[in-house]
Structure 1
Amino acid sequence: MRIFFISVAVALLFMGNTGAYAQAGMTDSQVIQYVQDGLKQGKSKQQLMMELSAKGVTTEQALRLKQMYENGEISADSGQTKTVTDTSRIREEAATEKKAEEAKPQESAPAQAPAENSMADQVFGRNIFTNSNLSFEPNTNVATPENYRLGPGDEIIIDIWGASEDIIRKEISPDGSINVPGLGIISLNGMNIADAKEYLKSELSRIYADEGNKIQVTLGKTRSIKINVMGEVMVPGTYTLSAFASVFHALYSAGGVTDLGSLRNIMVTRNGKTVAKVDVYEYILQGKTSDDINLQEGDVVIVPTYEAIVKVEGKVKRPMKYEMKADETVSTLLKYAGFFAPNAYKNSVRVIRQEGREYSVATVERDKFGAFKVMDGDVVSADSTINRFSNKLEIKGAVYRPGVYEFCEDINTVGKLLKQADGLLGDAFTNRAVLYRQRENLTSEVLSVDVKGIIDGTAQDVELRKNDVLYVPSIYDIKSIGNVYISGEVVKPGTYPYADNMTLEDIVITAGGLKDAASLVRVDVSRRMKDNKGTHAIDTVGQNFSFGLKDGFIVDGEPGFVLEPYDQVFVRRSPGYSEQKNVTVDGEVLYAGEYSLNYKNERLSSLIERAGGLTAFGYAKGAKLTRVANDHEIERMRSVIKMMKRELGESLVNSLMMELDSVFTVGIDLEKAMKNPGGDDDIVLREGDVISVPEKTSTVKINGAVMMPNTVTYLEGKKVSYYLDQAGGYSQNAKKTKKFIIYMNGEVTKVKSRSKKVEPGCEIVVPNKVKQNRIGEVIGYATSFASLATMIASLANLLK
């Protein structure tokens, strides 16, 4: 397991292995593979440590492998080197895995999914050492602190210039000394860097006595130190860190504290004595770093269990759990929580505490915050302020500045409140205003106020109380004033607000005036019936008036007819008004183009005659009429396509590419229409029609379930059987009795016998034997208004 291997085999095994080794060493890859295999076999950490020690793994190799793991240069899964690894993520995963192992239930207990903690259930500050953006790594690119104590592994650099030029670089030996040429052994162990500089200058002056010489002593490569991190941390053990490392960096390397660990009383022991106590809260809240001392070789960082965890909830700025010391109070807890939120009740808090078998509750007043000590498990709650005002007045309705006002000496009567609101609007109803008042028991009462009398001085002003609400109604609030509706042949039909003395002429002008199609002899007004004092039901449901207009003024009816609320005006369309209705004729006619119909019932033959008749190349039997669908026909199309999907299946209908088209083809016989004008074949035209007269085509198509679909020359008098033979006859799956002919004019005819007449330009289609319920019936419905050519072509391709 990858994370287990990193956290145990490296952090514990390698960093803790410092013994002597008996036989030849192992390569890096062999060490990695050995640990992986051992873990898979179930070997313990201690057993692996002993076996690797016996195989000759050196301390230098172990430290180097550990550094490679931390730098992400070795893959935990394969033992091979790799280029990029997020070491902070690995460390967090290791800590997470350890927490999961500790939190595993007993085998007999059912496994339950852990609940995700909210912010309120987290302990403040505990995530500081698991933050990948905050590693507390020491900065080695700064001047060496004067109190830095030298030890084995530190490098001393001595620069000499002036009369003599020399550079001496020496690493302090394990016994704490360096060997300087000309001076011999000089012991520096335990000296701070400042004292070491002065001591070396003094000793070197004996061999570089010339006054022209200058001597500078600096620290080069620093040593690494081993420290132990113990107690309630995620990964306790021995760590090799920079000599500049601090307590915080050691805790970060160990994965941070556990749920039982303390952030307030972290101890650093040196040679059996406590040399520092670290309170992380002082760093988080005050930025204090004086207790975050630099560690030395052999130091032990101990994280004890916490003394008290107290939860604060409710109306504070940062509601969550906090670690508290034994002598800390509610006042300290509130400081950690950022004090009260703006809407908090600040005069007291509630503390719930477990005492023995029961809970107790204590109300801590504001003056006792600094004296009430919190205990482990306490829950401190800050309530919100009551949603009430102690000095609020409100005025609504027909005043210039409605809203909330302060109840005070200057605004304590109705008259003063009206003045503060800049007085009444012009539409205010002053005979009676309403004052809503809340009694002491929180029930409400309503008082009547004579606003007009108070303003005139004829009535006594009314004293106000806190939370009073004064409502001054508008005359429009107490009187229903309906709108006036106008429709028909006006520029802007719609609903308009009623006004006193509004006439019929006024509403017509307001609606933008009459349209060109408006009737000047018929404008109707409908009025609702009302008798507020009536005692019997009436049969009449409305009253109607009719008028004639000229230039927008009444010329036939009561002049200056005054409208009433809710009147409805209907401006009729003149029966003698008609807009042009255009049709188009194209193809083989003498004068192709757009024409306006002369009559509502103008027919096909009339239009062709107006277009100069057919040219010598025109083919009357192939003429086609394309028509724009009206609303009723479009709705029929929609219904048929829906029915086809239900009967034939949606996939089949979709394959036919049937679309809701606004244009469809009407089958015509132009030849018969021209021979018999006004007859059944001479259909009546309507706006948008397009008549297309093609050239005569001398071919016939044979398609569908035939041996070889073909296009052949038309021969007059030849029957369907002849053309089928030209396509090789029927195929094996042909549905012979269902063949049909598509003519150039869009007409579709079923071939009931082999002698059915064939015309130039037509197409003979033989369907396949594919069972499709009611296909013929549905096609029959659709051909009257669907895009016939598209549908038939798609159906033919589908059945091939």
Structure 2
Amino acid sequence: MRLTKSLLTILFLCIAVSASAQSLSDIDFKSVRVSELSDQQIQRIYSGAQSRGLSIDETVQLAVAQGLPQSQASQLRQRLQQVRAGTAGQGQEQGFPGQLRNQVPIEGPAPDSTKFDSLYMIADSLKRAERQMKDKIFGYKIFTNERVTFEPAMNIPTPQDYQIGPGDELVINIWGAAQMNYNLPVSPEGFIQIQDLGPVNVNGLSIKEAEERLRARLGQIYSGLDPQNEQNKDTYMQLSLGQVRSINVTVLGEVSVPGSYTLSSLSTVFNALYAAGGPTTSGSFREINVIRGSETVATFDLYDLLVYGDQSSNIRLRSQDIIQVKPYNNRIEIEGEVKRPGIYELMGKETLQDLILYAGDFTNKAYTERIKVIGNTPKQKRITDVRKGFFDNYILENGDSVSVGKILDRFENMVQIEGAVFRPGEYALEDTTSLYSLIQRADGLMGDAFMNRGIIYRTRDDYTIETISFNVRELIRNPEQNNIDLQKDDRVRISSIFDLREDYTVTINGPVQKPDQYEFAYGMTLEDLIYQAGGFMQSAAPYRIEVARRIRDASQTAKSSSFIADVQTFEVNEDLTLNEEDASFKLQPFDQVYIRRLPNYEEQQEIHVVGEVQFPGKYAISARNERISDIIERAGGLTPDAYTDGATLFRKREFTQQESQQMTANVQGEGLTAEERAQQLEEQRQQRLQDESAQVGIELPQVLQNPGSRYDLLLEEGDSLFIPKKLETVTVEGGVFYPTTVRYEDGRSFRDYITAAGGFNDLAIKKRAYIIHANGDVDRVKKFLFFKNFPDVEPGATIVVPEESPTAGLSPQERISILSTVTSTLALIVTTIVQINR
């Protein structure tokens, strides 16, 4: 069994390796852009390289050999490195450090999951710490951002100091008295071949030097190009680069991917550094040496480019140049209120001021009087407070941590005033040293200022609050005697008279256009309030208007203390005038005005007649005592096809008190006027009435034979009278095998229709069966002793057989499982008994 398992595992791995190896050759690298490759495609390339034993550098070189542009090679290397890092993490995540996720041990004991979980947690913590470190190092993100590429620009004017070498293509344009174009490649020996002139050596020359040499040589053919007398010059020449050559440079030291790189001859130090993935977390960003031959020709400081945009040391590379990235010497972390907190590298005698400059300077909330520096001694840490003015003299050491604090969220010279002044707000203490001057700075008191008292809230030295009261009226009358000196953080409060009392309102209810609560105004009359409410509605009774006035203290009135409101009755004309006796009546705050409804006022009420009448439609109720027989007569009587036994009356049902209270609670929203709340309540009620109409069973034959009898119901608003055509079917629903609609036949009984629907099913509750007649009446099966009395069935009826709730039974699989368990238990018992008997 173990051998079979091993063979199957090996076969699976072989198939996987074969499929991965093929994936590398499936991609057309000539036209590919690495940034457009999906993560799955990069994974396939990586897996194929791993199966063939190729390193990442060898994989990139193979891709270049298959046509991948050099400009894409560095991106491919970075993405393959990300896959390698992610694959290692996946292996640890499964509990197998160093192995791929799908790699399973063939033999041996299972690994200790606890041990591997611990290793995974340690590795994950280290990765997280390294990632945080990379995020903090200034300049590191520029080499890890996949959205940014730093490739040498090809479509640029030819640099005059560009040094020509084998592989370059020179373009010579001649115009004027002669016209000619040359596209001449530079041979491996450094020569170009010009027709009729022979080879010209341009190796190592700059563009400017080569142009002077070629002008002299071509002057032998074109006499007007380089004549002895400048006045005879009539031919001109321009030299530029066509195709540029590739150069090979080596990047060594503390870089992400050291090695040799094939780059464009226009590439600079930064281009090569980017192709190598940039410095590592231990590499220097400030000391990057360019070694040409046996000497260092330049030292590139990446901060010059990132901070100042200075590329003077970012020289153009030559073939066989070596770029050396040394380990950093001096790194300092700065945090707090600077624009670019992070880890920075300082060189030589650079100071704290230089670090602040690299960090983008202070933010607008930085505390700049003193900066905290935490450093290391041979035995322990130390803390230093560097004061302002000494930043450019303080030399930082490797490992120092700089913290820039935040200014306090408080004012050193602020006083406030609020309340009934024209310009409340904050003021400087220097300009308003006294209470009176602060009021004057706030443009003085408003007319509604409460003059008897104001308060100063003062913060003590222990941050507790004390209050200092003053008389506003006396302060304004005699400021010299009653003035108070202010202190820092004092807050002055002068209240409005409206802040010290309830909001004065009056309310009007009843049949006016806009019943609501209105703001009280002194001198307001009853007519003013009715006018503000939009005037009377037609249903209003203006001769009976009540005003209920609040009684503040009933014991002080001549009336009994049991009175809680003083109610007065008035009569207002429709033109909103009062009689002479009541004309002097003025409203007071919190008065409630009630407009009564006319006793005999009635709005039109409609009912709906549908079905077999001569003139179906809507009808208005003409009298309070109008009945069904009356409306049928007004509708022209019944048609010959009317089925009177099936006539039904639909009536809007009345709501219970609980339902009415619930609807009222649903519209008690804030910001709604009384009119809006009443409108919403009526809309909800009408919607509920439409949704919940009750069916009233009527005996229309009795109504027509005996008008005005107890069968002839009084009509109500919203009633709908439905008179159907002659019905010829009976419907059977509920606990029958085949619920259906059956043709009505005279003489068939209740049970006959049940039988026609397949009979009762297993869930049917026979004794609770009932019938709904066409007119809405309901009748059920009655039982007396051992006898059942089934109701008669008429056309249009519906027979309903209630059902019990179905109970879930055992499935065949469950029955087999229980049977097997019982059989096994019995066999065990029998075996035990036999053993005991032996």
Q: Same fold (TM over 0.5)?
A: yes
Flag the 1:498–1:169 CA change in 2: closer, same or farther, 3 A.
Answer: closer
Which residue does the alignment assign to 1:94? 80
Q: TM-score normalised to the size of structure 2?
A: 0.71
Matching residue within 87, 100, 109 for 2:119 = 109
Which aligned pairs between 1:31-430 and structure 2 lie closer than 5 A?
A: 39-40=50-51, 43=53, 45=55, 62=62, 64-65=64-65, 67-68=67-68, 90-97=76-83, 109-111=119-121, 112=124, 114-115=127-128, 122-156=136-170, 171-178=185-192, 187-202=201-216, 218-408=240-430, 411-430=432-451
Q: Deviations over 1:269-315 (max 9, x none)?
A: 11121111112222122221121111101111122222333232222
Which residue does the alignment assign to 2:648? 624
SS in 2 for 1:264: strand
In 1, the alpha carbon distance for the partners of 2:713 and 2:374 equals 94
In 1, the alpha carbon distance for the partners of 2:183 and 2:577 equals 115
Shift of 1:245: 0.8
Q: TM-score normalised to the size of structure 1?
A: 0.74
In 1, the alpha carbon distance for the partners of 2:221 and 2:583 equals 132
CA contact (8 A) 2:695 2:776 kept: yes
- The answer to whether structure 1 residue 437 and structure 2 residue 447 are counterparts is no
- The answer to whether structure 1 residue 449 and structure 2 residue 470 are counterparts is yes
> Aligned partner of 2:257: which letter?
V
Which residue does the alignment assign to 1:683? 713
In 2, the alpha carbon distance for the partners of 1:239 and 1:521 equals 106
In 2, the alpha carbon distance for the partners of 1:374 and 1:533 equals 86
In 2, the alpha carbon distance for the partners of 1:662 and 1:293 equals 89
Which residue does the alignment assign to 2:606? 582
Flag the 1:189–1:89 CA change in 2: closer, same or farther, 3 A.
Answer: closer
Q: Deviations over 1:165-214 (max 9, x none)?
A: 88766544434445667766654433333333433454566677797987
Shift of 1:368: 0.5
SS in 2 for 1:352: strand
> Aligned partner of 2:165: which letter?
G
Shift of 1:246: 0.8
CA contact (8 A) 1:268 1:276 kept: yes
Q: Deviations over 1:739-794 (max 9, x none)?
A: 6544332344446669743333x145475976469xxxxxxxxxxxxxxxxxxxxx
Which residue does the alignment assign to 1:79? none
CA contact (8 A) 1:490 1:514 kept: yes
SS in 2 for 1:691: strand
SS in 2 for 1:422: coil
CA contact (8 A) 2:554 2:564 kept: no
Flag the 1:586–1:198 CA change in 2: closer, same or farther, 3 A.
Answer: closer
CA contact (8 A) 2:544 2:569 kept: yes
Matching residue within 560, 568, 578 for 2:592 = 568
Which residue does the alignment assign to 2:619? 595
Which aligned pairs between 1:775-794 and structure 2 lie closer than 5 A?
A: none
Which residue does the alignment assign to 2:666? none
- The answer to whether structure 1 residue 759 and structure 2 residue 794 are counterparts is yes
Gaps of 5+ in 1: 15-31, 53-58, 73-86, 640-657, 774-800
In 1, the alpha carbon distance for the partners of 2:509 and 2:164 equals 101
Shift of 1:71: 7.2
In 2, the alpha carbon distance for the partners of 1:398 and 1:35 equals 76
Which residue does the alignment assign to 1:665? 695
SS in 2 for 1:262: strand
SS in 2 for 1:496: strand
In 2, the alpha carbon distance for the partners of 1:674 and 1:38 equals 100
Flag the 1:136–1:389 CA change in 2: closer, same or farther, 3 A.
Answer: same
SS in 2 for 1:460: helix
Identity, in percent, stands at: 35
Q: Deviations over 1:105-132 (max 9, x none)?
A: 9977342365496799522222223344
SS in 1 for 2:361: coil
CA contact (8 A) 1:177 1:186 kept: yes
Range with bigger deviation, 364-373 or 477-486: 477-486
Flag the 1:344–1:470 CA change in 2: closer, same or farther, 3 A.
Answer: same
CA contact (8 A) 1:707 1:731 kept: no
In 2, the alpha carbon distance for the partners of 1:750 and 1:694 equals 24
Range with bigger deviation, 488-497 or 750-759: 750-759
Flag the 1:236–1:435 CA change in 2: closer, same or farther, 3 A.
Answer: same
> Aligned partner of 1:627: which letter?
R
Which residue does the alignment assign to 1:744? 774
Shift of 1:582: 1.8
Q: Deviations over 1:679-730 (max 9, x none)?
A: 4433332211011222333455567747795653x554454466667x5864
Which aligned pairs between 1:651-662 and structure 2 lie closer than 5 A?
A: 661-662=691-692
Which residue does the alignment assign to 1:17? none
CA contact (8 A) 1:151 1:189 kept: yes
Flag the 1:732–1:135 CA change in 2: closer, same or farther, 3 A.
Answer: closer
- The answer to whether structure 1 residue 462 and structure 2 residue 486 are counterparts is no
SS in 1 for 2:418: strand
In 2, the alpha carbon distance for the partners of 1:317 and 1:709 equals 81
Flag the 1:124–1:660 CA change in 2: closer, same or farther, 3 A.
Answer: farther
Shift of 1:244: 0.9
CA contact (8 A) 1:159 1:167 kept: yes
Which has more helix, going by share of residues?
2
In 2, the alpha carbon distance for the partners of 1:585 and 1:381 equals 88
CA contact (8 A) 2:525 2:587 kept: yes
Which residue does the alignment assign to 1:697? 727
Q: Deviations over 1:373-408 (max 9, x none)?
A: 223333322223223333333222222222223333
Shift of 1:240: 0.4
Flag the 1:548–1:676 CA change in 2: closer, same or farther, 3 A.
Answer: farther
CA contact (8 A) 2:732 2:798 kept: yes
SS in 1 for 2:286: coil
> Aligned partner of 2:439: which letter?
L
Asked which structure has the greater RCO (Cα within 8 Å, sep 6+), the reply is 1
Flag the 1:622–1:421 CA change in 2: closer, same or farther, 3 A.
Answer: same
Shift of 1:243: 0.8
In 1, the alpha carbon distance for the partners of 2:406 and 2:763 equals 86
In 1, the alpha carbon distance for the partners of 2:218 and 2:242 equals 18
Number of corresponding residues: 698
SS in 1 for 2:68: helix
In 1, the alpha carbon distance for the partners of 2:424 and 2:555 equals 37
Shift of 1:558: 7.5
In 2, the alpha carbon distance for the partners of 1:677 and 1:709 equals 38
Q: Deviations over 1:540-577 (max 9, x none)?
A: 47234241423266779977555544343444444443
CA contact (8 A) 1:521 1:556 kept: no
> Aligned partner of 1:417: which letter?
L
SS in 1 for 2:381: strand
Which residue does the alignment assign to 1:516? 538
RMSD between superposed Cα atoms in Å: 4.6
CA contact (8 A) 1:121 1:321 kept: no
CA contact (8 A) 2:779 2:791 kept: no
- The answer to whether structure 1 residue 495 and structure 2 residue 490 are counterparts is no
Which residue does the alignment assign to 2:33? none
In 1, the alpha carbon distance for the partners of 2:458 and 2:442 equals 19
In 2, the alpha carbon distance for the partners of 1:269 and 1:532 equals 106
